[in-house]
Chain A
Amino acid sequence: MASRANLFAAALIAPLLILVVASFIVPLLVTLYTAIGNPEVRATLPRTTAAVRAWNGEGLPPEAAYAAIAAELAQAQEGQSIGQLSRRLNFEQLGMRALLLKTARASDHLAAPYKDALIALDARWGDPELWRLVRRNTSALTSLFLLRSLDLTLTPEGTVAQASKDDAVFRALFYRTFEISFWVTVLCVVLGYPVAYTLSTLPQRWANIAMALVLIPFWTSILVRTTAWFILLQREGPVNALLQALHIVDAPVTMIFTRFAVYVAMVHVLLPFVILPLYSVMKGIDPVYMRAAASMGAPGWKRFLRIYLPMTMPGVAAGALMVFMLSVGFYVTPALVGGPDDQMVSYFIAFFTNTTINWGMAAALASLLLIMTGVLVAVARLIVPGFGSAAVRL
């Protein structure tokens, strides 16, 4: 009987389990793997891989490696698989793409001995550094994408070095992402707390109306709300018109494509995520505690600090956590109303996924964002009161 009940229970949760595995665990693992996978050289140049692996890395590789790469590049060109290989190596070192394509194109005219023929075609084939680069990329895994995502780079000797100042983007990008998310979270809590309190104390009829005012924007698409802010904040938009009509400013203020616009739009989009959990926590607080504190002679600020605030902390923590996690992954809002130095990590993940089709970089940035956010939240749980129970209250 018991086992049949168990089977029944398992059947009930099976769809959920399959959904979680298929839509969360598998993509997550694939993304983590994509961040460190290095399949291009091995897949496209299998014989070259074998030949350079047999070589000890000193001087130049044997004739077999030259013969293999000449033949395999020609094949890759014909079979339309040279693109991924050449882009992958070009990402490692500029100019590799042109060299590989040139070699593939010339391969019809090449003849043994291939070592001399390739070096005659382009002197770079006689450079041991280049061959060591190929050899290094015959390994199944690479740290390149993760290092690049932290503005680090691999030297030809295989040691880690700082990226040049002209290429350094990503550390500042992660810092900016967490900075914006932090301030959005703080603003949401500061603005959302009194709203939630007011909602929880209003008579039922008014509370319903006020709640609708919170929920209707919440149910509206993020894109629509962000576009609305774009229209409001533009140079000849209503906000500037109002400021000028009230003689607060003489000339229109540039608000669109600034950090200010990003904060305004993100706080507006995310505010309900802090109001709703706070409201549900505040509704559950029995007013008798506050009355008891008052009867013992505690003044209003003390009643709030000692009684009410600690009791609402789980709501603050739940709301803040949700807002922070959502902010970290924000894409549409900064992309539409922010300038180039207001973009967050997601913008670059989308950029590498869609525009340059460098899924290794996209996956590396995503993985690092996941890890950093996880660490921050874990630390916050340890040091912020009420955070531990946040997950339960969600």
Chain B
Amino acid sequence: MNALRQKSMAIAFAGVALLASGAAQARDLMIVGFGGPFQDNARVALFQGYSKATNTPVKDDVYNGEMAKVYAMVKSGDVTYDVIMVEAPELVRGCEDGIFEKMDWSVVKKNKFIEGGTSNCGAGAVLWGVTLFYDPAKVPNGPDTYAKLWDTKTYPGKRLLRNSPKTTLEIALLADGVPPADVYKVLATPAGQKRAFDKLDQIKPQLMWWKSGTQPVQLIASGDATYAVGFTGRIVRANEGGSKYPLLWKTLLYSVDYWAVVKGSPNAKEGMKMVEWITDSKPLLTLAETYAVSPANKEAAANPALSVKNPGMLSSHVADGLFINTEFWVANGEDLEQKFNAWQAK
């Protein structure tokens, strides 16, 4: 009865997507990422690299990180994704929910990853982070700390933050002088949450919010925002295209994206082997030839050639940054999202 209900629920929420994908059948290994320039380059260096090395046909697809489709797939038993890139909180949640297979550490070598690069159901793929940036052509000496970002007299103009409590509340506390090591301890208490929202209140009229990762660079370029906190990968990309945005590593907040194998995948075994291959330092260094990647592989990250070549490589700057606490956001995310929404609407 319960299975039937879950099944019909899954169909109701993702019916169209699943009807389109057809019945489960023997098919090529399917790897799914967030798209963008990373995936365009990873397709050649990692996916096709694996395909050639093992003579296995591999296809890839793009999703935008929304887990509903994957949940519906697993619950309806019609799994069309095999290996998938996920953000840390989604990985932990999906692992507890039985959406991902537990990593087979006899296939994937656990000791090759950086600290925090492994999880029960995931193997670290790349690091990602956000930093403060602005256009020096318009603001010659912009703020270089979050405390200064709150100084609206010295630095007038709109501030663009992510439309999510995640990163925003941390930034508010950092701006209020909380030491990075204590941010999550403070944020776990109601008084600390109030402190963060009160801090945001001080500059609320100057705040704007971005929803998609492409927006910070766009809105800084269009002049709609004067200062923004955006993905470092996008900032580096814009600089390669001629922009001169400063990379303020002292304002870095970062986390890891993981590879996971979807539960019930008919290619689960093959998927594990692929995860092992694409997290090895050799293919990652090949990828680094064409794309500024920040691998979660220790050996690749430590390669001196890579950090010289890639100014945006996060692993050289993690000492300056704040690691976004996955467990904190899995436990408190939903509550803080609601408080954040209520605060925004006030």
Q: Do A and B bind each other?
A: yes
Contact residues in A for B338 (Cβ distance below 8 Å): 167, 169
Instruction: Give complex CA distance A27, B19 in Å.
Output: 14
A341 near B93 with CB under 8 A, answer no
B224 near A254 with CB under 8 A, answer yes
Q: Nearest Cβ in chain B — how far from A32, in angstroms?
A: 10
A167 near B339 with CB under 8 A, answer yes
Interface string of B316-346 (1 = CB under 8 A from A): 0000000000000011111101110111110
Choose one: A26, A82, A254, A257; the contact of B12 (CB below 8 Å).
A26
Q: Nearest Cβ in chain A — how far from B13, in angstroms?
A: 6
A122 contacts the other chain (CB 8 A):
no
A238 contacts the other chain (CB 8 A):
no
B331 near A39 with CB under 8 A, answer no
Contact residues in B for A237 (Cβ distance below 8 Å): 222
Q: Nearest Cβ in chain B — how far from A140, in angstroms?
A: 11
* Most chain A beta carbons < 10 A, residue from B95, B330, B334, B335: B334
Instruction: Give chain B interface residues in 27-85, CB to chain A under 8 Å.
Output: 66-68, 71
Instruction: Give chain A interface residues in 1-35, CB to chain B under 8 Å.
Output: 23, 26-27, 30-31, 33-34
Contact residues in B for A91 (Cβ distance below 8 Å): 334
Q: Nearest Cβ in chain B — how far from A241, in angstroms?
A: 12
B98 contacts the other chain (CB 8 A):
yes
B184 contacts the other chain (CB 8 A):
no
B153 contacts the other chain (CB 8 A):
no
B344 near A341 with CB under 8 A, answer yes
Choose one: B9, B67, B96, B331; the contact of A98 (CB below 8 Å).
B331
Instruction: Give complex CA distance A82, B344 in Å.
Output: 32
Choose one: B93, B98, B334; the contact of A79 (CB below 8 Å).
B98
Contact residues in A for B224 (Cβ distance below 8 Å): 234-236, 254, 256
A221 contacts the other chain (CB 8 A):
no
B245 contacts the other chain (CB 8 A):
no
A84 contacts the other chain (CB 8 A):
yes
B97 contacts the other chain (CB 8 A):
yes
B67 near A354 with CB under 8 A, answer yes
Instruction: Give complex CA distance A54, B163 in Å.
Output: 47
A234 near B341 with CB under 8 A, answer no
Choose one: B68, B94, B98; the contact of A81 (CB below 8 Å).
B98
Q: Nearest Cβ in chain B — how far from A145, in angstroms?
A: 13
Interface string of A70-114 (1 = CB under 8 A from B): 000000010111111011001100100110010000000000000
Known: A81-B97, A335-B211. A169 touches B342 (CB 8 A): yes
B114 contacts the other chain (CB 8 A):
no
Interface string of A337-374 (1 = CB under 8 A from B): 00111000000100101111111000000000000000
A252 contacts the other chain (CB 8 A):
yes
Choose one: B2, B93, B341; the contact of A357 (CB below 8 Å).
B93
Instruction: Give complex CA distance A33, B163 in Å.
Output: 31
Q: Nearest Cβ in chain B — how far from A120, in angstroms?
A: 23
A169 near B341 with CB under 8 A, answer yes
B334 near A356 with CB under 8 A, answer yes
A82 near B13 with CB under 8 A, answer no
Instruction: Give complex CA distance A129, B97 in Å.
Output: 26
B345 near A169 with CB under 8 A, answer yes
Instruction: Give complex CA distance A237, B224 in Å.
Output: 10
A37 near B12 with CB under 8 A, answer no
A172 near B345 with CB under 8 A, answer yes
Instruction: Give A172's nearest chain B residue, CB to CB.
Output: B345
Contact residues in A for B12 (Cβ distance below 8 Å): 26-27, 30-31, 34
Contact residues in B for A167 (Cβ distance below 8 Å): 338-339, 342
A166 contacts the other chain (CB 8 A):
yes
Instruction: Give complex CA distance A7, B93 in Å.
Output: 52
Instruction: Give complex CA distance A184, B143 in Å.
Output: 41
Q: Nearest Cβ in chain A — how far from B72, in angstroms?
A: 10
B15 contacts the other chain (CB 8 A):
yes
B185 contacts the other chain (CB 8 A):
no
Known: A340-B344, A354-B66. A30 touches B334 (CB 8 A): no
B311 contacts the other chain (CB 8 A):
no
Instruction: Give A151's nearest chain B residue, CB to CB.
Output: B342
Instruction: Give chain A interface residues in 205-257, CB to chain B under 8 Å.
Output: 234-237, 252, 254, 256-257
Interface residues on A, range: 35 or more
A94 near B96 with CB under 8 A, answer no
A87 near B68 with CB under 8 A, answer no
A340 near B13 with CB under 8 A, answer no
B333 near A341 with CB under 8 A, answer no
B343 near A30 with CB under 8 A, answer no
B222 near A235 with CB under 8 A, answer yes
B98 near A80 with CB under 8 A, answer yes
Instruction: Give complex CA distance A164, B93 in Å.
Output: 27
A353 near B68 with CB under 8 A, answer yes
A117 contacts the other chain (CB 8 A):
no
A168 contacts the other chain (CB 8 A):
yes
Contact residues in A for B263 (Cβ distance below 8 Å): 80
B93 near A83 with CB under 8 A, answer yes
Choose one: B15, B67, B332; the contact of A94 (CB below 8 Å).
B332
B209 contacts the other chain (CB 8 A):
yes
Contact residues in B for A165 (Cβ distance below 8 Å): 342
Contact residues in B for A359 (Cβ distance below 8 Å): 9, 13
Instruction: Give A96's nearest chain B residue, CB to CB.
Output: B331
Instruction: Give complex CA distance A98, B328 in Å.
Output: 10
Known: A257-B208, A354-B68. A97 touches B331 (CB 8 A): yes
Instruction: Give chain B interface residues in 84-142, CB to chain A under 8 Å.
Output: 93-98, 102
Instruction: Give B97's nearest chain A residue, CB to CB.
Output: A83
A43 contacts the other chain (CB 8 A):
yes
Instruction: Give complex CA distance A359, B228 in Å.
Output: 33
Known: A167-B342, A235-B223, A359-B9. A84 touches B97 (CB 8 A): yes
Contact residues in A for B102 (Cβ distance below 8 Å): 80
Known: A30-B8, A30-B12. A43 touches B2 (CB 8 A): yes
Q: Nearest Cβ in chain A — how far from B198, in angstroms?
A: 12
A26 near B8 with CB under 8 A, answer yes
Contact residues in A for B333 (Cβ distance below 8 Å): 356
Instruction: Give complex CA distance A79, B66 in Å.
Output: 24
Instruction: Give chain A interface residues in 151-166, CB to chain B under 8 Å.
Output: 165-166
| Sampled A-B contacts (5; CB under 8 Å) | A167-B338, A236-B222, A236-B224, A341-B345, A359-B9
Give the top 5 A-B pairs by smallest Cβ distance, nearest first.
Answer: A83-B96, A80-B98, A83-B97, A354-B66, A340-B344
A residues neighboring B (CB under 8 Å): 23, 26-27, 30-31, 33-34, 37, 39, 43, 77, 79-84, 86-87, 90-91, 94, 97-98, 101, 165-169, 172-173, 234-237, 252, 254, 256-257, 335, 339-341, 348, 351, 353-359
A81-B98, A166-B343, A341-B344 known; 17 other A-B pairs, CB under 8 Å? A26-B11, A30-B9, A30-B11, A31-B12, A80-B96, A90-B334, A94-B335, A167-B342, A168-B342, A234-B224, A236-B222, A254-B158, A256-B224, A340-B209, A341-B345, A348-B341, A356-B333
